[in-house]
Amino acid sequence: MRPRARLLDLDFWRCAALALALCTLATLGGVAWLWQSRAQAAATSAAAAIKFLDGRLDEIDAQAQGLAADVGAAVGDEPCPRDINQRLLRSSLDGLLVRRWWLQGEFGTIACGPEGPMPALELAPTPAGRLTLMSRRSIGVELLAVRPAGGSQSIVALLDPRALALPPHGPWQTDGATGGRITLHAGDGRPLQVWSRDGTAGPRNVLLQARQASARHGMAVGVDVDRAGFWADFRRQLPALLAAALLCSGAIAAWAWRQAVRRGRLVYRLERALQKRQFEPWVQPIVDLSSGRCVGGEVLMRWVHPQRGIVPPGEFIEVAEQTGLIDGMSQLVMTRAAHRLAPLARLHRQLYFSFNLTPDQLRGPLIAQTLAELFNPETLPREQVLLELTEREIVDPAAHGALAALHRVGWRVAIDDFGTGHSSLALLEQLPIQRIKIDRAFVASIGARSASRPVLDAIIGLARELDIGLIAEGVETQDQWDYLAARGVGSAQGYLMARPMPLPAFEQWLAGHPPVSAAADAPDTATPLAEQELQTMWQRMRSTGGLDIRDRMHHLRSYTQCFVAREAVDWMVRELGVRRAEATHIGRRMVALGWVRHVLDEHDFDDAELFFTAAVHLQAAALSPPVDDLRQALRALSGGVPLGTYRRRLLVHRRCASGCRIVDWLVARHEVSRDTAVQWAAQLMRQGMLRHVFDDQAFRDDGTLYRPA
């Protein structure tokens, strides 16, 4: 047996390209981050050094101001009075940060120092009232601190070499950040002193420098980031960056694969469809075998797929039952059918409609209350409702009590697909069963030599003895009809009479097949009047002075011509004088009737800030007629759509074709216009012959991928 071809896979080369791109981004990001961190560390170091040096210079500046006050009054016509020499000498001997003080006077060529007059020092212009650092060359480079002392006088200090030395350990030395090199600059930008961790003061290969100027003194500090140290740090961090990039690329690839598999799974699509409320009630008529007139209908579930149209139940019911989604789907369909079938049921009181209950619904503690709220005189009365259960639900002992309780309050129960399960025949006498539905497998045995035919006769005889009504399923031929009618089977449903159809189509079909005793029907005028009032109220709500219906914005998304559910409840409370709970119930009736819908089809009507809009009945789109040349499109599909392998993002899709290629092929083969080819392809999707690779997009004449179903 040939293994099934894998239709979906990850694209290795694109995943590798993604990993390479992320590694490149990680490398560039690492360089940028390291650059930013080193620049920030250098700026922090420079600020700390400036703070330390400002403290030292503040002490020197205080001494200079005091000395300027002492000697300023003593300066006279003599260039260097003796008392000034003594004061300068005493200050020079007492200072710890300054080796020698000078007074540079107005004479220009002579300075006054501790030893007496001396040649004037060559000083650069200094700002008034500010201590400024300078340098002069003697035996080595000496640091001078100059402060104007009033007039043309200046106080000059020869600093001790250790006065502005930065301690080896401090906040200005950030490990691995600066390379250990800090430079002291004069006010004019010239370098004055260099502190280096490795003891070198010569030029270095500097990558960047953070510079911080003093706000009080004429000096600045520059902190260097060494190029070699920077790249050494980066090489140490590079393996961790690349490992993180590879992990991220692997996580992205795993996420893409998980999303692709999830989108391809039916469970995900069913969850999405239930969230979008895409399940609609259809009806298959049940007719009386003796007269051929309609006696009721079975309400069935159909998935109204936005792209594929009507999806048959055989494609999703089993998965829905396995995952538990069937309960929510059944509740939605029952609610919509109860409201939409109400006018027809009131017009024909002899009709009944059967609904399938799931096992979880039957075992629910509030099943009786739920059914009473769902089926009532306002929708379908319980006497016109038949609840269908399968045999596997009947044999469950926990269901016996629920069935007895439902029977006591007037609910009728039928066993669906009888004969295919494992129930005991004794249960038919013990449980309140009003109908037995003969499985289609036994009906198909009519007219053929089959071992199932005696079983069919036995079921008919047993039901006659127990006085239980029979409904035959799957009647497709006249021979089956005649056989069942001759043996007293009361009702039947099947393709011979009618296929399942939407509710509007069922109403049209019923007009041509009047129910039993149609002439004896007495129209009920009370409830239809209430429904007419409901429709009149809806028209008032939509007219001027009613609801605020307009375009709205929510989460950066626009919604056209919608209203707020809470405002609708407020309007009904104000205009109709009803309670808020009753107003909410009226809104839910409007949703069930198809007059309004949530803007995203995700919520029922509630007294909350939810947007609703007027809705066209969902079944209208499902009734669109097929194109005239659909037969040609089907032949074209069976002739072989050109399939190939395509790459989209990180995924490889096999045995599929793009929408534009399918259209090109149909145009070339059948010589039709491109618009006609697009219509054919869209109709093929609605017929289930062509699907999107994830079954969640309509047909488009572009690069979107599709494959034959």
How much is the pLDDT for 32?
92
Asked, colleague to colleague, whether 277-519 and 625-708 share their fold, the answer is no
pLDDT interval class at 78 (50, 70, 90): low
Read off the tokens for 604: 């029922």
Which H or E run contains 461? helix 452-466
Contacts 24+ apart (CB under 8 A), 89-94: 89/114, 89/115, 91/63, 91/67
Lowest mean pLDDT segment, chosen from 26-40, 215-229, 687-701: 687-701
Average the pLDDT over each of 160-169, 288-297, 576-585, 620-629 and give the range with the smallest value.
620-629
Region 166-177 average pLDDT: 68
Domain ranges of the chain: 12-228, 277-519, 528-617, 625-708
Length of the chain as a residue count: 709
Spatial separation of the C-alpha atoms in residues 247 and 22, rounded to whole Å: 10
CATH 3.20.20.450 fits 277-519, yes or no: yes
Q: Are 174 and 233 in contact (CB under 8 A)?
A: no
What is the average per-residue pLDDT within 181-202?
Answer: 74
User: Between the CA of residue 656 and those of 3, 252, 419, 484, 690, what are the distances in Å?
Assistant: 18, 24, 43, 48, 10
Helix-strand-coil split of the chain, %, nearest 5: 45, 25, 30
* Residue numbers annotated as active site: 473
What tens digit of pLDDT does each residue of 99-123 get?
888 887 654 567 788 877 777 777 7
Q: How far apart (Å, rounded) are the C-alpha atoms in residues 396 and 387?
A: 16
Among the listed residues 169, 203, 210, the one whose alpha carbon sits nearest the alpha carbon of residue 50: 210
Question: Taking residues 529-545, what's their average pLDDT?
Answer: 78
Q: According to the model, what pLDDT value does residue 304 have?
A: 87
pLDDT at 26: 92
Domain formed by 528-617, architecture: Orthogonal Bundle (1.10)
Instruction: Say yes or no to pLDDT of 649 above 90.
Output: no
Each residue of 431-473: pLDDT tens digit? Answer: 788 888 888 888 888 876 655 578 888 888 888 888 889 999 9
Fold of the 625-708 domain: Arc Repressor Mutant, subunit A (1.10.10)
Name the band, by pLDDT with cuts 50, 70 and 90, for residue 622.
very low
What is the pTM for the complete model shown?
0.60
pLDDT at 440: 86
